[in-house]
């Protein structure tokens, strides 16, 4: 059974105290997650230890890094190694968010290297893929996303791939207030699963969690998550508001 995941991406927001309070408010809601459900919080690096400790007592709640570096260790001032994340008990890491691709020029090869290091350190990568507006308007989004998948994922074997979570982000819908329709979301999620099935077989593809990440809000989460191939969301702005993210977690299948 595929995991259903509500993943919060705080990005570069909140002070330590605000983050601590936000987590507490969400935990105080006492949402009981089913066996196949996960609530994951990708918090800024300085808050990882706090978040990990705060969530430790709640079943199926996890802290996640927002990024790691594509080298094992060395003279890379300001970067964070996957091994460092493992040493403080982090089990998830967002890799290849569209903002990392755009602002920091992260390539598909670099993202493969990051995921490889995550997997070596027993960290589940949340791999982001998705198209900008120009590609969507040209109608070539399927081939664009397929290339991202092939160049970053296809060197992994079946066992490795099944430890990776995929997040589809229509870049044109991130922070814009626009959201892909449920039909558009389902269509791309189904396409991603079909691409994986062609390479790895249906059994493997059916076990991969694919999240939607484009302006997921409290008022549209249930409809989006009801799509056959949508297994939850990678949530930005709405994850910074306790009552909104509580509703989103409760919207999981």
Structural contact between residues 131 and 98, judged by C-beta atoms closer than 8 angstroms:
no
Q: Which two tokens stand for residue 230?
A: 């949508």
- DSSP code per residue over 100-156: HHHHH---HHHHHHHHHHHHHTT-EEEEEE---HHHHHHT-HHHHHHHHHHHHHTTS
State which H helix or E strand residue 84 sits in: helix 82-87
Q: Is 97 a catalytic residue?
A: yes
Q: Which two tokens stand for residue 251?
A: 């919207």
For residue 126, the cross-strand partners are 94, 165
- DSSP code per residue over 167-208: EE--GGGSSSS----HHHHHHHHHHHHHHHHHHH-HHHHHT-
Q: Which of 97, 106, 131, 191 is catalytic?
A: 97
Q: Which two tokens stand for residue 39?
A: 């609530």
Q: Is 169 a catalytic residue?
A: yes
Q: Which of 91, 99, 106, 169 is catalytic?
A: 169
Query: Sign of dihedral through CA atoms 170, 173, 213, 228?
Result: negative
Residue of 36, 37, 42, 33 lying closest to 8 (CA atoms): 42
CB atoms within 10 A of CB 120: 13
Catalytic residue positions?
Answer: 97, 169
């Amino acid at each position: 059974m595929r995991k259903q995941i509500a993943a919060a991406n705080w990005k570069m927001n909140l002070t330590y105290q605000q983050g601590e309070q936000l987590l507490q408010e969400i935990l105080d809601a006492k949402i009981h997650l089913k066996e196949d459900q996960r609530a994951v919080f990708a918090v800024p690096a300085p808050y990882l230890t706090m978040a990990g400790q705060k969530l430790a007592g709640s079943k199926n709640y996890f802290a996640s890094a927002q990024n790691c570096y594509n080298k094992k260790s060395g003279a890379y001032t300001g970067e964070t190694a996957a091994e460092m994340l493992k040493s403080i008990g982090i089990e998830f890491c967002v890799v290849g968010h569209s903002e990392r691709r755009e602002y920091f020029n992260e390539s598909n090869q670099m993202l493969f290297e990051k995921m490889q290091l995550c997997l070596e350190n027993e960290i589940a990568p949340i791999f982001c893929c998705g198209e900008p507006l120009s590609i969507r308007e040209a109608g070539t989004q399927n081939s664009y996303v397929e290339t991202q998948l092939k160049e970053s994922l296809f060197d992994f074997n079946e066992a490795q791939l099944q430890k990776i979570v995929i997040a589809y982000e229509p870049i044109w819908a991130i922070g814009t207030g626009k959201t892909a329709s449920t039909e558009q979301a389902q269509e791309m999620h189904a396409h991603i699963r079909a691409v994986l099935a062609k390479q790895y077989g249906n059994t493997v593809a059916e076990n991969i969690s694919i999240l939607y990440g484009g302006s997921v809000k409290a008022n549209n989460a249930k409809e989006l998550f009801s799509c056959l191939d949508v297994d939850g969301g990678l949530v930005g702005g709405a994850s910074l508001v306790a009552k909104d993210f509580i509703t989103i977690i409760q919207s999981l299948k």
